[in-house]
Structure 1
Amino acid sequence: MLRMKKGSARFASVFIQLASSCRGFQDWVAPIPAFKDATVGVRRIGFLRHGNTLPSSIDWERPLSEIGRQQAIEAGQSFGKELEPFHPFLLVSPAPRTMETARLFCPTASLLPIQSLYDGTMQPGGSAIFRKIGYAPLLDYLENENQQERELMHQLLGAYARETTTAIVNHLKETKSSEDCTLWIVGHAIYLPSAVVGLAQAAGFDSEDDSFQVALSTSTHEAEGYLVDFDTQSIRYLQRPSNQKQ
């Protein structure tokens, strides 16, 4: 089940709270005047979390499990098919689990590893807070009752959003597409929804629109993610069919 909004009033209060911080929600990524020019040919950007992994003492080395492989394939054959054609390059965290997820999700695409997409770049502070809160909606991190931890996550998640958006814009300036397509970003929870928020902010979406709640209040499941649609200026969650039945 997706954890969705409890009401627009709560969203508004959270928005005001974050906006008042040094790296608040509204300041994560400022609107980019040339953004629309950079995204010519790309009407949608999808964000996909890697599939289920096997345990490892070293985070970087965690491989996909057989379940994770099947999840990645299912994602590609469900919402992946619905969002074709794809941009010829997928931007991917270089961690093995994300690289393998991307290959299974779209076997024909070329993968472009982006070091800043790896969530391990947020260690040790981000990882320590993650061990405390776990896989949870973005809002749980942004509303952390511990002020020091909350401010740290604002900084880390804001930096991730800015770096991801910058990587997307730079990539699209260099690799124009001749047809309307979907560009995919394959990375990690909980950082992906922060990148979604940052991208929508950079694209000039109305930050008070209810669709922002999707990125703020949804727990990102394995081999699922988000779609930022420039035509409708909206964000929606992408869910695998097998997970919809649970």
Structure 2
Amino acid sequence: MNASSRSAEKAHDSTWMDHAIRAGLVAYGVVHLLVGWLALQLALGEKEDQASNSGALHYLAEQPLGGVLVWLVAIGMFLLVLWRLLEFGFGFDDESDDAKRWRKRAGSLGKAVIYGAIGWSAVQTATGSGGGKGGTDSTTAKLMQLPGGQLIVGLVGLAIIGYGGSLVYRGWTEKFREHLDAQGQSGKDGSAYVKLGKAGYIAKGVAIAVVGGLFGYAAITHDPKKSGGLDQALQTVLEQPFGQVLLVVIALGIAAYGVFCFARAKHLSR
């Protein structure tokens, strides 16, 4: 292992990285709390902004000192990107199964992409350069124009559904407990953290699975406008029988995930 690799691995295992992760998790929790709040407004017919990550950032920017807060969210997200990239390169060395180790590392890389997208959206919001109307449907349209584009969009949909399903699974089986240290899992506080995590993972997973379903429907109908992000997915939930009740439950669950992020920051285990 060369000197740069040793330095990167040392950084991954360092105490300052723990502090950086905690800061990032707090920022991630704030974003989810705001998404939950906007989704609740949507459910109650008082929508003011998109119930999505970008909508949450725009909502935050409109508050007192909002520009500073959005920049702090961006920094937090990029700290999480750094963590996940280091984890991709040097993490899970204690895993004896090579296939499982690389599967976990691939998951870390995927999470780095998600955090990076939120961070970049925060930078665009803070600098006022995120007002373009490209949207998910235009991205889907570009994919559709590629050779085998309809299949690609369908596979993207399946991948998103799979990710949503994995979150539901982690919530239902409480596998997320591994993210909390022993103190964070014990006593009344620990019981509350676990309940928040369970509700949060399941609700977030359901919302993301609906996003994947929209991509799949777009692939089947060959209509890019049928695809959509989180905001359109929540709108779709609202349009179903008992949609308002379902959306309130999902909104509260997404907010619960945000609070769980705070608990995870306090009782970090990695």
Which bin holds the TM-score, normalised by the shorter protein? under 0.3
TM-score, length-normalised on structure 1? Answer: 0.26
- The structure whose residues are more often helix, as a share, is 2
TM-score, length-scaled by structure 2:
0.25
Find the structure with the greater CA-based Rg. 2
Structure number with greater CO (CA < 8 Å, separation at least 6) is 1
